[in-house]
């Protein structure tokens, strides 16, 4: 009797100095999943390999034909649209790299207790849908409005607050063309899978995952700033619990490596043979185009430039391939990579710690052991 | 210089009494993923929600047309088949529930240190392919042979042994018709996704996941028992490190629940309102058809029978749906379910511990808090 949300939701906290991953973090790690890093080989991430983060449950939508999307609030003509209605608008396809704002969290010291991502919370897909600004124009959104609020069908409790997942974008972003925000109905040319928002989701190219509202049910134009949980409590950069903090917005630059050679099952240590090893991977930034990628095979003491492959078909919002040849010598190596973008952002070697473990893009190193054949049984 | 496999691979071990999940276990949990339990609502698991366990890396196969499958060893006529060759044989589709042999491992005390599954390492798909016995007949397998060895393209080191992933089946199982083993080329009507074995995999209905060799390259008929790592070292039920142990084969019965209500983000505790709550889920056994499912809402003190839905279209090897109506009252409840099969196997309430954490099917309970609306802010 008399249960209250505080009984269900522990407050946000930091792990102790030697505290292993807890049962709560493991339950999240088992549900949500990253991109296995060898899948960085694919230009477009095949279904099931793209990262997935769901705050609550994946809604069950057996009949996508019955789904409705409303556009309301400070508009001239509210809209109530079916999937068929949305498909009757001109469709746009954009290749977009999405990354969770909490990527890298489990590598931080101290570790914020939440979904314990290492560095794999990323993926790239071709998203097809209707430009949001087309729908806002159709509805006649008030040009003096402030925020546009997006509500998903996913429902739960978070730090004591029962909620539908909601996020907002400033009207200028929602109606902008750089990036052009989409209400997406297809991923890689097929209807959205359940875990990616079936049947509708928002795609905001260049922004971290919290902006990409899945299972989208309503778009509400507001004349005051949105102060919902996911906007004003979660997804803010804070070093102390009481500060207002800076909102998380666009993706900071990051480069990742296809782990070379082959792995040891349990440690994931990589094994290579002596001689030339082709290193390759992807790099991205939501802040500006990637301008360079560097590789280090000695834990960051020395860096060499990688070759950046050309941008494919003008895909400004997708990751960019890079490669580099390394001559491996017997022994142990710490192999890493870092990206810079055209606005001068460079991946840091040291963590930029904050309480949420958000927007962290510190360089990571992969342990690679080069073994001469003669030494192997 | 002189690195040896022992330097890469730690020996198998058990976690200490209060040891949290380690960095190595977390790296596996982030790569591999379970079925989010709300996806038990789907008869056939949509792509990306089915569990995935990869021992090493997912092989990159840009051109499935270049793939070859050899059938050799003690055969009259060795075969060297392309994907097109395989598709020219009559195709069979079977709906199969697959479960990892290590499902439930992270709930054991003491915890074997390996992929730290909770209970979500399961999924059901329609697999299409050529019956293996058709290929073995085509090759003229020696009827006096003992084991048939299956080799995948996934390569790595495990406990100091460099290997391609290999498993064997007795010839009688490989050529049997209950279950009928498939060399599968399609999952849910589409080519296999990379993480499920693109372009070819074995499907052994009713057996745990270790038998379902992915990225299948060769089938070798042998006249002696196969003693490879995954057959004689891994995947054996042992209570002490030195015993020979029993091999893991068919799936023990298990029932799982769609978690009712909605979750708290961090604890995954479920919230329901007072009144009737429809509980539903799936139950399966690779040993015999499921004969009953029971539900407890008080942590196992009392059990009530659930309604088993009819077997759909004769799908003997797929999970079976069940449902039960529970009248929730305010307070905290431990809700669980257990399956029995026609051979008299019943899910145990207590763990059957072994060093690998294999074939464990102890009943699990979900924490559900029933909150009267008046108590919610």
pLDDT of residue A374: 52
Going from the C-alpha of B268 to that of each of A115, A156, B1, B220, the distances in angstroms are 12, 9, 48, 46
d(CA A316, CA A322) in angstroms, rounded, equals: 15
Given an 8 Å threshold on Cβ–Cβ distance, is A266 in contact with B113? yes
Concatenating the DSSP letter of every residue in A309-357 gives: PPPSTT-TTS-EEEEEEEEE-SEEEEEEEEEEETTS-B--SS----TT-
CATH of domain A5-247: 3.90.420.10
Collect all residues with Cβ–Cβ distance below 8 Å to B107 and sequence separation of at least 6. Answer: B118, B119, B351, B360, B362, B364
Collect all residues with Cβ–Cβ distance below 8 Å to A242 and sequence separation of at least 6. Answer: none
- Is the pLDDT at B1 greater than 50, yes or no? no
Same fold, A5-247 and A254-375: no
Question: Quick check: B322 and B312 in contact, CB under 8 A?
Answer: no
Q: How do the domains of chain B map onto residue ranges? A: 5-247, 254-375
Helix (H) or strand (E) holding B212: none
- Is the pLDDT at B284 greater than 50, yes or no? yes
Given an 8 Å threshold on Cβ–Cβ distance, is A9 in contact with B41? no
Q: Which of A5, A9, A37, A48 is best to mutate for the B interface (most B CBs within 10 A)?
A: A48
Q: What SS3 class is residue B43?
A: coil
Using a CB-CB distance cutoff of 8 angstroms, which residues of chain B are in contact with residue A42?
A: 60, 194
d(CA B8, CA B4) in angstroms, rounded, equals: 7
% of chain B exceeding 90 in pLDDT: 94
The pLDDT tens digits for B76-133 are 999 999 999 999 999 999 999 999 999 999 999 999 999 999 999 999 999 999 999 9
Q: Is A366 on the interface with B (CB under 8 A)?
A: no
Interface of B with A in 198-257 (CB under 8 A): none
Q: How many CB atoms lie within 10 A of CB B192?
A: 24
pLDDT of residue A47: 84
pLDDT of residue A1: 39
Interface of B with A in 92-131 (CB under 8 A): 106, 113-114, 116-118, 120
pLDDT confidence bin for B323, thresholds 50/70/90: very high
Q: Domain A254-375 has what CATH class?
A: mainly beta
pLDDT of residue B313: 87
Question: Quick check: A336 and A294 in contact, CB under 8 A?
Answer: no
pLDDT of residue B5: 55
Q: What is the mean pLDDT of residues B202-218?
A: 98
Handedness of CA B325, B326, B327, B328 (dihedral sign): negative
Number of Cα atoms under 13 Å in the Cβ half of residue B301: 5
d(CA B13, CA B10) in angstroms, rounded, equals: 8
The pLDDT tens digits for B150-201 are 999 999 999 999 999 999 999 999 999 999 999 999 999 999 999 999 999 9
Using a CB-CB distance cutoff of 8 angstroms, which residues of chain A are in contact with residue B196?
A: 48
Instruction: Tell me the sheet residues that pair with A311.
Output: none
10-residue averages of pLDDT along chain A (377 residues): 63 92 95 96 95 98 98 98 98 98 97 96 98 98 98 96 97 97 98 98 98 98 98 96 95 98 96 97 98 98 97 93 97 98 97 96 97 65
Q: Which of A15, A29, A106 is best to mutate for the B interface (most B CBs within 10 A)?
A: A29
Q: What's the mean per-residue pLDDT of chain B?
A: 95
Q: Is B36 on the interface with A (CB under 8 A)?
A: yes
Q: How far is CA A253 from the centre of its chain?
A: 12
d(CA B280, CA B182) in angstroms, rounded, equals: 31
Distance from CA of B114 to the nearest CA of A (A): 7
Q: Is B377 on the interface with A (CB under 8 A)?
A: yes
d(CA A89, CA A92) in angstroms, rounded, equals: 10
Longest Cα separation, chain B: 76
Helix (H) or strand (E) holding B375: none
Q: What is the mean pLDDT of residues B224-238?
A: 97
Bond preceding residue B157 cis, omega within 30 of 0 = no
d(CA B170, CA B349) in angstroms, rounded, equals: 32
Token reading at A336: 């890493």
Interface of B with A in 130-189 (CB under 8 A): 155-159, 162
Q: How many CB atoms lie within 10 A of CB A79?
A: 18
d(CA A33, CA B60) in angstroms, rounded, equals: 19
DSSP single-letter state for residue A209: G
d(CA A258, CA B59) in angstroms, rounded, equals: 12
Given an 8 Å threshold on Cβ–Cβ distance, is B265 in contact with A48? no
Q: Which of B1, B10, B24, B29 is best to mutate for the A interface (most A CBs within 10 A)?
A: B29
State residue A280 phi and psi, 5-degree precision.
-150, 165
Q: What SS3 class is residue B253?
A: coil
- Is the pLDDT at B332 greater than 50, yes or no? yes
Choose the closest CB to A38 out of B2, B26, B57.
B57
């Amino acid at each position: 009797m008399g249960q209250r949300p505080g009984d269900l939701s522990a407050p946000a906290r930091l792990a102790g100095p030697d505290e292993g991953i807890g049962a709560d973090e493991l339950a999240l790690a088992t549900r949500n999943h990253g991109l296995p890093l060898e899948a960085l080989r694919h230009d477009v991430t095949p279904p099931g390999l793209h990262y997935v983060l769901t705050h609550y449950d994946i809604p069950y939508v057996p009949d996508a034909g019955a789904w409705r999307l409303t556009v309301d609030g400070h508009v001239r003509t509210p809209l109530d649209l079916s999937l068929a209605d949305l498909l009757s608008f001109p469709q746009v396809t954009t290749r977009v790299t999405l990354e969770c704002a909490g990527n890298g969290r489990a590598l931080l010291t101290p570790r914020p207790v939440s979904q314990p991502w290492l560095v794999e919370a990323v993926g790239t897909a071709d998203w097809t849908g209707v430009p949001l600004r087309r729908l806002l124009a159709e509805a006649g959104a008030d040009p003096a409005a402030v925020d546009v609020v997006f509500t998903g069908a996913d429902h739960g409790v978070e730090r004591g607050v029962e909620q539908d997942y909601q996020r907002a974008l400033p009207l200028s972003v929602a109606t902008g063309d750089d990036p052009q925000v989409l209400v997406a109905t297809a991923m890689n040319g097929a209807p959205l899978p359940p875990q990616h928002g079936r049947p509708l989701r928002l795609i905001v190219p260049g922004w971290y995952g919290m902006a990409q509202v899945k299972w989208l049910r309503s778009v509400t134009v507001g004349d005051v700033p949105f102060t919902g949980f996911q906007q004003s409590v979660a997804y803010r950069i804070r070093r102390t619990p009481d500060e207002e903090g800076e909102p998380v917005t666009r993706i900071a630059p990051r480069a990742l490596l296809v782990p070379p050679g082959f792995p040891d099952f349990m440690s994931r240590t990589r094994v290579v043979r002596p001689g030339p090893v082709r290193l390759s991977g992807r790099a991205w930034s939501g802040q500006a185009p990637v301008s360079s990628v560097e590789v280090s095979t000695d834990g960051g003491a020395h860096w060499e430039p990688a070759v950046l492959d050309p941008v494919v078909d003008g895909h400004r919002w997708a990751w960019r391939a890079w490669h580099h040849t390394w001559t491996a010598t017997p022994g142990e190596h710490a192999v890493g990579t870092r990206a810079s973008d055209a606005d001068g952002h460079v991946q840091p070697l040291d963590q930029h710690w904050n309480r949420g473990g958000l927007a962290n893009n510190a360089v990571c190193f992969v342990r690679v052991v080069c073994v001469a054949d003669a030494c192997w049984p």
